[in-house]
Amino acid sequence: MTRFISIVSGKGGVGKTTTAINLAAALSSCGKEVLVVDGNTGTPDVGLHLGVTKFSTTLHDVLKGSKTLRDAVYIHSSGLKFVPASISLDETKTVDIDNLHQVMLDLYGTTDIVLIDGAAGIGKEALSVIKSSDEAIIVTNPDIPSVTDSLKMTRITRENGIKVYGVIVTRAFDKNDVSPENISVLLDAPILAVIPEDFAVRKALSMKQPVVFSHPEAESSVAYKKLAAEMLGQTYSQKIGKKGFFARLFGM
Ligand SMILES: Nc1ncnc2c1ncn2[C@@H]1O[C@H](COP(=O)(O)OP(=O)(O)OP(=O)(O)O)[C@@H](O)[C@H]1O
Ligand SMILES: [Mg+2]
């Protein structure tokens, strides 16, 4: 059975794409088949995070009906599998994301987990991503504006009959943060992980690699890998992320 999980947020720029990429990389190094779909058709950035901008087939082609999602799967040098969206403004203007749910069915049974990276906010685009999933992960920063917007997102997710799997707090910094406990109470959802503010994430972005691959020992990487192990009911081991990735690299 394929698990479809959307990665969404109320506020933009909180770390959704970073989370989608790194959680996918960590889950696949735990032995699962994982695919990241860039469902942010307006301002897509999965390809940008991975250093690729030109694709012969994108989610936009799939939504227009000329290709299937399976035609649009790419493999990054890290081994990460992903479906990019087009960064062209013209293509964005003409695409209809309403049938995302329909095209996503093509992936059923082909992989263990699909992580769908969503657009920020409570607009049509984000809602289409939520409706294409069975469960949603809400990503928030630990500040009042971000948490307040997450509350809206959480409510809208539930109003659409989609389960809120939990919340990932990213860019956690210091005691001035809203605490994970308070975020959990406010959103009435479990905190899946707290990812610290980590310079290694920025370095990984400039290297166009998932941080769990480029900096496996970094605090953020360990947090993503612990979350992946927990999601799969596995015991976290420091080896997660090393063997899998290198095996994949040599395999390519
Ligand atoms: N734990 C972290 N530590 C430091 N920087 C981080 C961390 N997580 C994310 N960032 C940085 O924050 C910025 C925004 O991250 P990202 O692109 O993942 O957010 P997003 O929610 O996908 O944004 P958008 O809403 O525009 O799609 C990036 O520059 C990223 O490198
Ligand atoms: Mg993003």
Confidence of residue 237 (pLDDT cuts 50, 70, 90): confident
CA of 87 to the centre of ligand 2 (A): 12
The finding on whether 11 has its CB within 6 A of some atom of ligand 1 is no
Please list all protein residues whose beta carbon sits less than 5 angstroms from ligand 2, which is an ion: 16-17, 45
Residue 251: its pLDDT value, please? Answer: 41
Q: Please report the sign of the dihedral spanned by the C-alpha atoms of residue 45, residue 46, residue 49, residue 51.
A: negative
* Cα–Cα distance for residue pair 119/16, rounded to 1 Å: 9
Class of domain 3-237: alpha beta
pLDDT digits (tens, 9 = 90+) for 151-180: 999 999 999 999 999 999 999 999 999 999
Rounded to an integer, what distance in angstroms lies between the CA atom of residue 54 and that of residue 56? 7
Ligand 1 touching residue 45 (CB < 6 A): yes
Distance (Å, rounded) from C-alpha 159 to C-alpha 104? 21
Residue written as token pair 């794409």: 17
Rg (alpha carbons) of the chain, rounded to whole number? 17
Both tokens assigned to 41: 């058709």
Start-to-end CA distance of the chain, whole Å, equals 27
> Can you give the pLDDT at residue 113?
98
pLDDT beyond 60 at 249: no
Q: How confident is the model at residue 252 (pLDDT cuts 50, 70, 90)?
A: very low
Instruction: Give the closest residue (by CA) to ligand 1 atom 24.
Output: 13
Query: Residue 234 and residue 251: Cα distance in Å, rounded?
Result: 24
Please check whether residue 11 is in contact with residue 145, taking contact to mean a CB–CB distance below 8 angstroms: yes
Whole-structure pTM value = 0.94
For the chain, domain boundaries: 3-237
Q: Is the CB of 16 under 6 A from ligand 1?
A: yes
- Over residues 69-101, the pLDDT tens digits come to 999 999 999 999 999 999 988 888 888 899 999
> Is the minimum distance from the CB of 38 to ligand 1 under 6 angstroms?
no
Q: Is the pLDDT of residue 11 over 80?
A: yes
Q: Is residue 242 over pLDDT 80?
A: no
Q: How many CB atoms lie within 10 A of CB 252?
A: 9
Q: For residue 39, report the distance from its CA to the centre of ligand 2, in Å.
A: 9
Average pLDDT over residues 197-217: 97
